[in-house]
Amino acid sequence: MLSAYWEDGKLQKWLEFGIVIYDSKLWGRGIGQDALSFWLKHLFETYPKIQHIGFTTWSGNQGMMRLGEKSGLKLEGQIRKVRYWQETWYDSIKYGILREELKK
């Protein structure tokens, strides 16, 4: 499942996306990378005035972090120990890509 939302509401200059593959048997097969490549191109084409698209994940989601890096997104920020899950603190991790960085 792919999604996108405006982080800045009605201003509509700050676009974030999400991606979920619920079936773990499909993980590691390149499906996420193919879907994300399509989605980023689609979003930049659909919204020609935006310059940046990003996503936020957590340090416990190594698969999403690898997907972002393989897809050309840059690590833009890390907020330490703000996500708490199952008795463990994790970092919030922010990735993003600029229009001119997207491979055509």
pLDDT per residue over 6-46, tens digit each?
Answer: 999 999 999 999 999 888 888 888 888 999 999 999 999 99
pLDDT per residue over 4-13, tens digit each?
Answer: 999 999 999 9
**Whole-angstrom distance, CA of residue 42 vs CA of residue 11:** 20
Within a 10 A sphere around the Cβ of 73, how many other Cβ atoms?
Answer: 22
β-strand partners of 96: 54, 74
CATH number at residue 94: 3.40.630.30
pLDDT per residue over 63-94, tens digit each?
Answer: 999 999 999 999 999 999 999 999 999 999 99
**25: containing domain:** 2-101
Tokens 């972090």 correspond to what residue? 65
How many domains does the chain divide into? 1
**Those residues with Cβ within 8 angstroms of residue 57's Cβ, 6 or more apart along the chain or in another chain:** 64, 65, 68, 92, 93, 95
Phi, psi values for residue 96, rounded to 5°: -160, 165
